[in-house]
Structure 1
Amino acid sequence: MVAKRTVSEVGEFGLIGRFTEGRVQPVSTLLGPGDDAAVVAAPDGRVAASTDVLVAGVHFRLDWSTPEQVGRKAAAVNLADVAAMGAVPTALLVGLGCPPDLPADVAEQVAAGLWAEASRVGAGVVGGDVVSAPALVVSVTVLGDLRGRAPVTRAGASAGEVLALAGRTGWAAAGLALLAAGRETPPGPVAAQRVPEPPYRAGPAAAEAGATAMIDISDGLLADLGHIAEASGVGLDVRSSALPVPPELAEAAAELGADAVSWLLTGGEDHALAATFPADAALPDGWRVIGRATPGAAVTVDGEPYAGPAGWTHFT
Structure 2
Amino acid sequence: MPELVRDLSEEQLLARIFPLLPSGSSTLVGPGDDAAVVAAPDGRFVVSTDVLVEDRHFVRSWSSGEDVGWRAAMQNLADVAAMGARPTSLVVSLVVPGDVEVDWVTGFARGLALACAEVGAAVVGGDLSGGDAVVAAVTVHGDLEGRAPVLRSGARPGDVVAHAGVLGRSAAGLELLREGRPDVGEALVTAFLRPDPPLEAGLEAARAGATSMMDVSDGLVRDAGRIARASGVVLDLDAPGTALAEDLAAVRVAADALGRDATTWVLTGGEDHGMLATFPDGDLPAGFRRVGRVVATAPGSSGPVTVEGAPAAVGGGWDHFSG
TM band (smaller chain): over 0.9
Aligned to 2:91: 93
Moved more, 178-187 or 208-217: 178-187
Alignment of 1:257 with 2:241, yes or no, is no
Aligned to 1:41: 39
Contact 2:21–2:110 (8 Å) recurs in 1: no
Aligned to 1:112: 110
User: Aligned-pair distance for 1:24?
Assistant: 4.7
Aligned to 1:227: 226
CA distance in 2, matches of 1:237, 1:312: 20
State the one-letter code of the partner of 2:292: G
SS of residue matched to 1:91: strand
CA distance in 2, matches of 1:247, 1:58: 28
User: Aligned-pair distance for 1:70?
Assistant: 0.9
Contact 1:96–1:138 (8 Å) recurs in 2: yes
Contact 2:22–2:121 (8 Å) recurs in 1: no
Q: Deviations over 1:240-267 (max 9, x none)?
A: 2201144331111110111001111000
Moved more, 268-277 or 96-105: 96-105
Equivalenced residues, count: 313
CA distance in 2, matches of 1:177, 1:23: 32
Alignment of 1:260-299 (within 5 A): 260-280=262-282, 282-296=283-297, 298-299=304-305
Q: Deviations over 1:201-224 (max 9, x none)?
A: 000110000000001000100001
State the one-letter code of the partner of 1:206: A
CA distance in 2, matches of 1:121, 1:78: 12
Q: Extract structure 1 runs of 4+ deviating beyond 6 A.
A: none
Contact 1:188–1:248 (8 Å) recurs in 2: no
CA distance in 1, matches of 2:166, 2:115: 18
CA distance in 2, matches of 1:23, 1:192: 24
Distance change >3 Å, CA 105–CA 61, structure 1 → 2: same
CA distance in 2, matches of 1:75, 1:169: 19
SS of residue matched to 2:199: coil
Contact 1:53–1:138 (8 Å) recurs in 2: yes
Q: Deviations over 1:156-178 (max 9, x none)?
A: 11011000000011000010111
SS of residue matched to 2:289: strand
CA distance in 1, matches of 2:262, 2:291: 17
Contact 1:99–1:132 (8 Å) recurs in 2: yes
1:147 aligns with one of 145, 148, 153? 145
CA distance in 2, matches of 1:211, 1:47: 19
Alignment of 1:123-202 (within 5 A): 123-184=121-182, 185-202=184-201
**TM-score computed with the length of structure 2 as normaliser:** 0.94
State the one-letter code of the partner of 1:294: V
Aligned to 1:207: 206
State the one-letter code of the partner of 1:311: G
SS of residue matched to 1:206: helix
CA distance in 2, matches of 1:274, 1:88: 17
User: Aligned-pair distance for 1:100?
Assistant: 1.8
Aligned to 1:242: 243
CA distance in 2, matches of 1:49, 1:96: 19
Contact 1:86–1:206 (8 Å) recurs in 2: yes
Aligned to 2:300: none
CA distance in 2, matches of 1:307, 1:136: 34
CA distance in 1, matches of 2:80, 2:137: 15
User: Aligned-pair distance for 1:74?
Assistant: 0.7
State the one-letter code of the partner of 1:194: L
Structure 2: 5+ residue stretches without partners: 298-302
Contact 1:186–1:248 (8 Å) recurs in 2: no
Contact 1:220–1:265 (8 Å) recurs in 2: yes
User: Aligned-pair distance for 1:128?
Assistant: 0.3
Moved more, 262-271 or 9-18: 9-18
Aligned to 2:60: 62
SS of residue matched to 2:192: helix
Cα RMSD for the two superposed structures = 1.2
Work out the percentage of aligned pairs sharing the same amino acid. 51
1:71 aligns with one of 66, 69, 80? 69
User: Aligned-pair distance for 1:16?
Assistant: 1.5
State the one-letter code of the partner of 1:143: H
Contact 1:199–1:272 (8 Å) recurs in 2: yes
CA distance in 2, matches of 1:283, 1:274: 12
CA distance in 1, matches of 2:262, 2:78: 24
CA distance in 2, matches of 1:286, 1:48: 23
Contact 2:48–2:140 (8 Å) recurs in 1: yes
State the one-letter code of the partner of 1:107: V
